[in-house]
Amino acid sequence: MSQHIQSSSRRKRLLLILLMLAVTTLSGCSTFSGMFNKFSFGEEEDPKSLPPDILIVQGMDAYDVGNYSDAIKAFKLILDEHPFSAQAMLAELKAADAYYYNKQYTEAKALYKEFEERHPTNEAIPYVLFQIGMCDFSRTDRIDRDTSGPKDAIKSFTRVIQTYPQSPYAKEAKARIKDAKEFLVNHEYMVAVFYVRTNHYEEAKHRLKYLLAMYPDSTMAPQAKALLEQLQAGKAPEWGMRKWLPEFMTTAPADREAAASAADKTTTQPPTPESTQNKVDDPATPAQ
């Protein structure tokens, strides 16, 4: 009887010990699992869980070194996860800038326009309007292709000048309008030349008259006038491309650079440096 009681007692103690070990093991596994999930072998925290003040710093750091794709991701997280935060307005503007400098002009223009609609009285609006024009202007391609970019750019830059004539962006807008018009002039002249070369003289005269009427003070106007006079006199030119086409239409860029380099070596005076800065200075942080 005594042995049966002792054996039963031992079994109870053994069960108790096993139960305690099981509880301890499960608790340890849960703790370890939590630590594993938290640290994940040194991986960074999910960006979606970061506060907006951290995301804006990450976005600006990426933007400042030209990593525009990562900058866009950070700014979009702010707008998606923290749309009413103090950082949201800056994220809107810098997301548009990041798209622009990443050469995604359609996306950038859409975001600039959204910023204008949401914050029409913000101090950054002159800059935003100018950048809308730059998105259009940056779509300018070869002169034998689509002209919608420079045409839209002229409209956008004209709006900057009319709405904010005292803005520092107004002067730059005027220069960009001049460049856009030169592009359109060159396009019209090249089309006229094509018509002459294919013996479509009436179409060529129509294009040249339009060019002279729309852009009478352009650098191409004297050449266009001379060509028109010959056509009107019934003396279509014999091509002769270098006589009737400007250098940039007949000479490859590499050849022009080589010629310019050779010319520089013949003078003792250093060449006048040309500005290569394409970016417009960023505006101040938009006011809340």
Work out the mean pLDDT of the chain and round it to a whole number. 76
Q: 3-state secondary structure string, the chain?
A: CHHHHHHHHHHHHHHHHHHHHHHHHHHHHHHHHHHHHHHHHHCCCCHHHCCHHHHHHHHHHHHHCCCHHHHHHHHHHHHHHCCCCCCHHHHHHHHHHHHHHCCCHHHHHHHHHHHHHHCCCCCCHHHHHHHHHHHHHCCCCCCCCCCHHHHHHHHHHHHHHHHCCCCHHHHHHHHHHHHHHHHHHHHHHHHHHHHHHCCCHHHHHHHHHHHHHHCCCCCCHHHHHHHHHHHHCCCCCCCCHHHHCCHHHHCCHHHHHHHHHHHHHCCCCCCCCCCCCCCCCCCCCCCC
Q: What is the pLDDT of residue 140?
A: 76
Confidence (pTM) = 0.66
- Residues 3-26: pLDDT tens digits? 443 444 444 443 333 334 333 333
pLDDT at 221 over 80: yes
- Domain ranges across the chain: 46-102
What does the pLDDT average to over 242-271? 48
- Residues 175-199: pLDDT tens digits? 999 999 988 998 889 889 889 888 8
- Residues 59-81: pLDDT tens digits? 999 999 999 999 999 999 999 99
pLDDT at 235 over 90: no
How far apart (Å, rounded) are the C-alpha atoms in residues 171 and 78? 34
How far apart (Å, rounded) are the C-alpha atoms in residues 196 and 203? 8
Q: Find tokens 């852009």 and name the residue.
A: 215
Q: What is the pLDDT of residue 22?
A: 37
Phi, psi of 32 (to 5 degrees): -65, -40
Q: What is the pLDDT of residue 84?
A: 94
* 152 — pLDDT class (breaks 50, 70, 90): very high
The closest alpha carbon to 239, from 282, 195, 284, 287, belongs to 195
